[in-house]
Copies of this chain bind each other. A is one copy, B any other.
Amino acid sequence: MHTPFLALDDAITTRNVESMATHARDRGLDLRPHAKTHKMIELGNRQIDSGAIGLTVATIGEAEVFSAAGVDDLFIAYPLWLTPETASLLRQISDRARLRVGVGSIDGAQQLARLATDTPLSAMIELDSGHHRSGIDPHEAGTVADVLADGGIEVIGVFTFPGHSYAPGSPSSAAADEASTLAAGSEALRSAGCEPIVRSGGSTPSAAFTDADVTTEIRPGVYVFNDAQQVELGTCGLADVALTAYSTVVQRDGNRAIADSGSKILGADRPSWTTGFGRVIEDPDARIVALSEHHATIEFSSTAPPPGTIIHTVPNHVCTAVNLVDRVAITTDGEITGWWDVAARGRF
């Protein structure tokens, strides 16, 4: 076996896809999964077949790939700064898909109005619900809506990413912040004479706590595969992790071993609250204590497996791992049954 490579377990993936679809249906929420996690046509189609109303993407390039593959309802959940070149790409995408884009500032609203009035699309205003990355104070949403409306851009609602759900103990409070922010932004839009039809939130950790009285739509991404971060946040167990890096132990010394799944296949994400650079399916107490491009240094809970052993390592953040490879193996009962292209890998 020529390792490392990424593989997804078909049964676990299917279970994860169905489970989130059921959760959304039971709560009366629209599900628009974030496809940046998987970037695969086959998985986008599975999500839609199981009830998703469309897909979320992060970039124009991802929207190009999914719309070309027949996905006809896309939300670019990013505060785009358009140029004539990228505006032209949006126009082409809008021929193939119902298109929404994110707007996160008055400047961004003005630029969208300057360059995209001839493109059939609608705008969603991004709100900051506590992650303090992009997005505006919800009380300012009316001003942005006014700029868009004056510029001839339809505004259909508000969205937020409660990224501060990514810390132990935070998912439920982040979901509460999300709800109060979406409510305040919606109120601001109504005051500006604009009905916030879509109130979109949701991340994988916070999805279980979504306030369905306020929120109409959720956009979780990671749930389709899960990863070490989700395990450590308590969102799932190791048995729910669908995607792993098949790795070979190349050296060992007592409990410590080097495997060939470095940051070039796992990604280098390492938030301070995580217990290491990733996990190992075969030993729940093992930790990846150091990571360079081609070396994962693993502390096992007892004597490390001998060189040549194939182990399944779990990335901290599955989105960045998937973006490192051109294709992912599909496995059933541990046997490789096919490969799927990561069609939107590296697309901006």
Contact = CB atoms under 8 A, between A and B. Distances in A.
Interface of A: 1-5, 36, 58-60, 78-81, 83, 85-86, 89, 104-105, 107-108, 111, 133-134, 163, 248-251, 258, 260, 263-265, 267-270, 290, 292-295, 297, 306-308, 317, 319-320, 323-326, 346, 348
A77 to B, nearest CB: 10
Given A105-B307, A308-B111, A294 B251 contact: no
28 contacts: A2-B83, A2-B89, A36-B293, A58-B294, A79-B250, A79-B258, A80-B250, A81-B249, A105-B251, A105-B307, A107-B306, A111-B307, A133-B290, A133-B292, A133-B295, A134-B251, A163-B292, A264-B320, A264-B323, A264-B346, A267-B268, A268-B269, A268-B270, A268-B317, A268-B320, A293-B319, A324-B324, A326-B346
A78 to B, nearest CB: 6
Given A133-B292, A258-B134, A4 B348 contact: yes
A307 B58 contact: no
Q: How many copies does the complex hold?
A: 2
A83 B237 CA distance: 32
A134 B295 contact: yes
- Which 10 pairs of residues, A with B, have the shortest CB-CB distance? A268-B268, A81-B250, A107-B307, A268-B269, A105-B251, A58-B294, A134-B258, A81-B248, A2-B85, A79-B250
A107 B251 contact: yes
Contacts of A265: 348
A140 B269 CA distance: 35
Nearest to A89: B2
A346 B89 CA distance: 28
A86 B2 contact: yes
A320 B205 CA distance: 28
Nearest to A86: B2
Nearest to A309: B81
B324 A323 contact: yes
A260 B76 CA distance: 14
A111 to B, nearest CB: 7
Q: Which of A3, A134, A270, A326 has the most CB of B within 10 A?
A: A134
Nearest to A5: B348
Nearest to A131: B292
Contacts of A89: 2
B251 A307 contact: no
Contacts of A294: 58-59, 78
A341 to B, nearest CB: 13
Given A1-B85, A292-B163, A307-B81, A250 B346 contact: no
Contacts of A2: 60, 83, 85-86, 89, 348
A89 to B, nearest CB: 8
Contacts of A346: 264, 324-326
